[in-house]
Amino acid sequence: MSKEIKTVKTEKPNTTLWQTIKFVMVATLAGVTETVTYAVLVLGLKGMTKEVSFVGQKYLMGAFIAYLASALIGQIVSFIVNRKATFKANNNIGVALVFFVIMVAVIVVGQSYFGPMLNEYFAKLAGGIENKLLHTLCADFAGKAILMFCTMVFSFIMNKFFINKRTEKSEPEIKEETREEK
């Protein structure tokens, strides 16, 4: 009489919680990278005052470049670190990159559309600040922080369920051959 031993694969009960904590830590790293990049670029490109239009919003060219470049750099940092460190993804990298590009396009269009609205709103709130640099930083960064938080939530959902999935690979079946001895 042989006993059959069954193994049951169980997932750690707090996997999603730990992924969320790691994701927030990585998002913080990406957010710091994005914020520093934005600050350097917006101050460095402030002389670029030609107006450009994107998704119905008008931007000064320097601010537009700073906004797009910082968002893209933040997302790239997040993708690279989260792929292996947070989600331990093993799905097809090509498929993951297609979903990543779509996600970043949605984020860039969303930030580009809502960013100026939020900046204008916070500029009105910061109207009493006499120092022009401090006024600009408060107005721009308040809107940027809100958009970065919304982006983090959207990005977590996309990364967990579409971009950086962990797929269970089935092990090849091993067929036992029996030989009859003569």
Q: Is residue 6 very low, low, confident or very high in pLDDT (cuts 50, 70, 90)?
A: low
- pTM of the shown model: 0.72
Report the chain's mean pLDDT, rounded to a whole number: 84
State yes or no: pLDDT of 81 exceeds 70. Answer: yes
Does residue 102 form part of some domain?
yes
What is the Cα–Cα distance from 4 to 31, expressed in whole angstroms? 52
Does residue 91 form part of some domain?
yes
Does residue 73 form part of some domain?
yes
Does residue 174 form part of some domain?
no
What is the Cα–Cα distance from 68 to 64, expressed in whole angstroms? 6
Does residue 2 form part of some domain?
no
Report the domain count for the chain: 1
Residues spanned by the domain of 119:
15-163
pLDDT in tens, 115-146: 888 888 888 888 877 787 887 777 778 888 89
CA 11 vs CA 41, 74, 168: distances in Å: 44, 31, 12
State yes or no: pLDDT of 180 exceeds 60. Answer: no
Does residue 179 form part of some domain?
no
Query: What is the rounded radius of gyration, in angstroms, for the C-alpha atoms of the chain?
Result: 24
Q: What local confidence, expressed as pLDDT, does residue 91 receive?
A: 92
In 20-171, beta strands by DSSP E: 51-54, 57-60
The DSSP bridge pattern shows strands 51-54 and 57-60 to be: antiparallel
Q: What local confidence, expressed as pLDDT, does residue 179 receive?
A: 55
Does residue 113 form part of some domain?
yes
The whole-number average pLDDT for the span 45-73 is 89
Does residue 171 form part of some domain?
no
Is 114 within 8 Å of 181 (Cβ atoms)? no
**Quick one: the chain helix, strand, coil %, rounded to 5?**
65, 5, 30
Lowest mean pLDDT among 2-6, 13-17, 26-30, 94-98: 2-6
Higher pLDDT: 80 or 112? It is 80
